[in-house]
């Protein structure tokens, strides 16, 4: 009797969680400006309700009464995740959970205005409040007061620790810097030039999403300041953005968010914790895989280039090969989401450093803009002259997502591991992708990743899917091979 009671309770929690996700999507895409205060209050109340459900004292009683010898592996995972959520939630006071949710909703709106105005000081007080609140949350969650960051990282990458994650990510730095320096000595690929109407970009983005397998009966695409995805299997929505001088931003933001949505749409049971995503590193592996290994591949250029040409006949790119080179142009730039694969993880490492120091107190918010600009100059050799291209470019800190950024690089590492294994299992994959046929690719991910939910840890899931433990080496080899060929190194 205890198991049905527990599962029914967990479905209620998951349902409210999905409502919170749709509220976040609505806030960014549809909500009128004057609704910000009201929405922040609504978000706070909803967070309080979720917290109450997660800390229900009946949860440990139900769990204790269940005989795990007589239940499925799926329900064992539900019990494990329910216990984990209960243990984490009972450490955080309800009023603090509500305050963080409210401050995050307010922070996102203030960030959006500050970004539009190009003024970090407009956003600094809201960010300072969020940093302090997240420190308090981490203190509640952590058994080690000397490393509060790990308590926040654990929300996105369960079990991950800075002491093991940092060497893995740092392993990328030297090979990427070396690759960047070699490429810098070579002639650059052609840049997209011309005018690309937003309406046509969106039409092509929808066609691209459908081609990759996105189910529009279970989702939709809208415009937002910062692209994101939200929701569950039956209602998985994404946003993208347009720049009429640069169609690639829209296309590859869409491909990225479609990767997230495909993972959500492939979940086996949307209202139980064991069916949710394994970790954000795994989630990002799906988005980065579809964005890079598929949509930026030479094979997919055979399908995507003619489509681009049909929507933009005056485009200054004249062949699929030239298109492939253009979308993989390596150039040092300011914006993470627009960065090529060689630079992308260097952008993540910068954010990983800064947010660790914000949470530890080694860096104060009032010094963040100057420190960002100083380190960006050191790592990338460029002076940040527009805060929209600097510390205000990402939405994450404005909604309290401290500990999220390293999962992007983990996603790149995992996606390269998956890509290597997939090519062994599907040797003709690239020939199919060249015709726009991604069905076999999606089915492989469905079977290996999507329908596994949280049955396994992230490391064990990659091990199960690929036969090897996750490592940075496949990513380094993938990048050196791809860009070595592109730039004749």
139 and 236 assigned to the same domain: no
Query: Which of 143-152, 164-173, 224-233 tops mean pLDDT?
Result: 164-173
192 part of a folded domain: yes
Q: Which of 84, 113, 146 is where one domain is finished?
A: 146
**97 and 243 assigned to the same domain:** no
Would residue 100 count as lying in a domain?
A: yes
Predicted confidence (pLDDT) at residue 414 exceeds the cutoff of 90: yes
Query: Half-sphere exposure of residue 286, counting CA atoms within 13 Å on the CB side?
Result: 29
Whether 155 is covered by a domain: the verdict is: no
Within 10 Å of residue 427's Cβ, how many Cβ atoms? 9
Q: Please give the pLDDT value at position 44.
A: 81
Q: Residue 157: inside a domain, yes or no?
A: no
Residues 176 and 109 grouped into a single domain: no
Q: Are residues 206 and 341 in the same domain?
A: yes
Which of 30-34, 187-191, 271-275, 293-297 has the lowest average pLDDT?
Answer: 30-34
Q: Read off the pLDDT of residues 88-114 as tens digits, 9 standing for 90 and up.
A: 999 999 999 999 999 998 999 999 999
Domain count, the chain: 2
Q: How far apart are CA 364 and CA 379, in angstroms?
A: 21
Q: What value does the mean pLDDT take over residues 402-414?
A: 96
Sheet containing strand 235-240, edge to edge, reads 221-223, 235-240, 229-232
Alpha-carbon distance 291 to 274, whole Å? Answer: 27
**Residues 142 and 166 reside in one and the same domain:** no
186 and 139 in one domain?
A: no
- The enclosing domain of 382 has a CATH number of 1.10.1370.30
Greater pLDDT, 228 or 122: 122
Task: Note the pLDDT of residue 373.
Answer: 98
Q: 222 pairs with which residues across the strands?
A: 239
Residue 207 located in a structural domain = yes
Q: What tens digit of pLDDT does each residue of 155-182 get?
A: 999 999 999 999 999 999 999 999 999 9
Q: Are 195 and 246 in contact (CB under 8 A)?
A: no
Are 404 and 258 within one domain?
Answer: yes
Phi/psi at 80 (5° precision): -60, -45
Contact 36, 56 (CB under 8 A): no
| Mean of pLDDT values over 409-421 | 97
Q: Is the pLDDT of residue 280 over 70?
A: yes
Confidence bin at 37 (pLDDT 50/70/90): confident
pLDDT at residue 68 greater than cutoff 70:
yes
pLDDT at 21 over 70: yes
Looking at the fold, whether 70 and 207 belong to one and the same domain comes out as: no
Query: pTM value?
Result: 0.93
What mean pLDDT comes out for the span 340-358?
A: 97
Structural domain span for residue 404: 162-486
51 burial (CB, 10 Å; 0-12 / 13-18 / 19+) is buried
The pLDDT value given to residue 27: 67
Residue 291: name the closest of 321, 331, 250 by CA.
250
pLDDT over 90 at 464, yes or no? yes
Return the residue matching tokens 């791809």: 482
What's the average model confidence in pLDDT over 23-33?
Answer: 70
Among candidate residues 6, 101, 105, the one with its CA nearest the CA of residue 51: 101
Instruction: Report the pLDDT value the prediction gives residue 270, as an integer from 0 to 100.
Output: 66
Give residue 34's pLDDT band: very low, low, confident or very high (50, 70, 90).
confident
Q: Within this chain, do residues 184 and 125 fall inside the same structural domain, yes or no?
A: no
Q: Do 140 and 13 belong to one domain?
A: yes
Distance CA 132, CA 388 (A): 24
Are residues 195 and 63 located together in one domain of the fold? no
- With respect to residue 154, please indicate whether it lies within any of the assigned structural domains: no
pLDDT exceeds 80 at position 55: yes
| Confidence at 43, pLDDT banded by 50, 70, 90 | confident
Q: Decide if pLDDT at 455 tops 80.
A: yes
Which of the four pLDDT bands, split at 50, 70 and 90, describes residue 257? very high
CB 172, CB 476: distance < 8 Å: yes
Return the structure tokens found at 462: 């990659």
> How confident is the prediction for the chain on average, in pLDDT?
93
Number of neighbouring beta carbons within 10 Å of residue 469: 10
Least confident range of 18-22, 75-79, 310-314: 18-22
What is the arithmetic mean of pLDDT over 44-69? 91
Of 24-28, 346-350, 379-383, the one with minimum mean pLDDT is 24-28
Residue 382, pLDDT score: 96
* Residue whose structure tokens are 């929808």: 206
Q: What is the mean pLDDT of residues 312-318?
A: 94
Confidence of residue 336 (pLDDT cuts 50, 70, 90): very high
Please report whether residue 153 resides in a domain: no
Check residue 190 and give its pLDDT: 85
Q: HEC states along the chain?
A: CHHHHHHHHHHHHHHHHHHHHHHHHHHHHCCCHHHHHHHHHHHHHHHHHHHHHHCCCHHHHHHHCCCHHHCCHHHHHHHHHHHHHHHHHCCCCHHHHHHHHHHHHHHHHHHHHHHHHCCHHHHHHHHHHHHHHHHHHHHHHCCCCCCHHHHHHHHHCCCCCHHHHHHHHHHHHHHHHHHHHHHHCCCCCCCCCCCCCHHHHHHHHHHHHHHHCCCHHHCCEEECCCCCEEEECCEEEEEECCCCCCHHHHHHHHHHHHHHHHHHHCCCCCCCHHHCCCCHHHHHHHHHHHHHHHCCCHHHHHHHHHHHHHHCCCCCCCCHHHHHHHHCCCCCCCCHHHCCHHHHHHHHHHHHHHHHHHHHCCCCHHHHHHHHHHHHHHHHCCCCCCHHHCCCCCCHHHHCCCCCCHHHHHHHHHHHHHHHHHHHHCCCHHHHHCCCCCHHHHHHHHHHCHHHCCCCCHHHHHHHHHCCCCCCHHHHHHHHHHHHHHCCC
Judge whether residue 40 has pLDDT over 70: yes
User: Could you report how far apart the first and last alpha carbons of the chain are, in Å?
Assistant: 65
Which residues are paired to 240 by β-bridges? 223
In a domain, 181, yes or no: yes
Q: Are residues 77 and 187 in the same domain?
A: no
So what's the pLDDT on residue 84? Answer: 94
User: How far, in Å, are 9, 59, 257, 380, 401 from residue 14 at the CA level?
Assistant: 9, 15, 21, 42, 20
Considering 82, 112, 146, which residue would you say is the last residue of a domain? 146
Average pLDDT over residues 271-294: 94
Provide the token pair at 293.
């290994």
Q: Which of 90, 121, 146 is the last residue of a domain?
A: 146
Mean pLDDT over residues 457-476, rounded? Answer: 96
Active site residues: 257
**Which residue has tokens 């990048």?**
479
Check whether 25 has a pLDDT greater than 80.
no
């Amino acid at each position: 009797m205890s198991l049905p009671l527990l599962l029914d309770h967990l479905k209620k929690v998951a349902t409210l969680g999905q409502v919170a996700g749709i509220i976040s999507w609505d806030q960014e895409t549809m909500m009128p400006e004057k609704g910000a205060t009201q929405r922040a209050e609504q978000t706070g109340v909803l967070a309080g309700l979720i917290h109450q459900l997660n800390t229900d004292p009946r949860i440990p009683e139900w769990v204790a009464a269940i005989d795990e010898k007589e239940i499925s592996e799926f329900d064992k995972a539900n019990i494990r995740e329910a216990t984990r959520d209960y243990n984490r939630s009972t450490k955080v006071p309800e009023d603090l959970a509500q305050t963080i949710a409210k401050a995050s909703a307010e922070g996102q709106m203030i960030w959006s205005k500050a970004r539009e105005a190009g003024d970090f000081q407009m956003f600094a007080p809201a960010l300072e409040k969020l940093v302090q609140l997240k420190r308090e949350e981490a203190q509640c969650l952590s058994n080690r007061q000397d490393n509060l960051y790990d308590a926040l990282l654990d929300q996105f990458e369960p079990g991950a620790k800075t002491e093991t994650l940092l060497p893995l990510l740092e392993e990328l730095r030297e090979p990427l810097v070396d690759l960047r320096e070699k490429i810098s000595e070579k002639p650059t690929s052609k840049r997209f030039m011309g005018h690309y109407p937003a309406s046509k970009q969106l039409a092509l983005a929808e066609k691209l999403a459908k081609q990759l397998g996105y189910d529009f009966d279970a989702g939709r695409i809208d415009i937002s300041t910062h692209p994101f995805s939200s929701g569950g299997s039956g209602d998985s929505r994404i946003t993208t953005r347009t720049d009429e001088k640069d169609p690639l931003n829209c296309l590859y933001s869409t491909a990225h968010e479609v990767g997230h949505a495909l993972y959500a749409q492939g979940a086996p049971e949307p209202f139980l914790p064991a069916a949710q995503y394994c970790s954000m590193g795994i989630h990002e592996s799906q988005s980065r895989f579809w964005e890079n290994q598929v949509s930026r591949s030479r094979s997919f250029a055979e399908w995507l280039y003619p489509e681009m040409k049909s929507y933009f006949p005056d485009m200054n790119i004249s062949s699929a090969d030239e298109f492939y080179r253009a979308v993989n142009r390596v150039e040092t730039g300011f914006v993470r989401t627009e960065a090529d694969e060689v630079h992308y993880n260097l952008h993540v490492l910068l954010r990983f450093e800064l947010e660790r120091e914000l949470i530890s107190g080694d860096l104060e918010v009032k010094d963040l803009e100057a420190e960002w600009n100083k380190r960006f100059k050191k790592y990338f050799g460029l002076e940040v002259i527009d805060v929209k291209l600097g510390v205000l470019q990402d939405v994450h800190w404005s909604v309290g997502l401290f500990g999220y950024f390293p999962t992007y690089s983990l996603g790149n590492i995992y996606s390269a591991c998956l890509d290597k294994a997939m090519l062994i299992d599907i040797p003709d994959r690239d020939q199919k992708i060249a015709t726009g046929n991604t069905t076999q690719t999606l089915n492989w991910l469905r079977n290996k990743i999507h329908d596994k939910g949280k049955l396994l840890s992230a490391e064990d899931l990659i091990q199960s899917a690929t036969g090897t433990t996750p490592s940075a080496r496949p990513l380094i080899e993938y990048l050196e091979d791809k860009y070595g060929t592109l730039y004749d190194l």
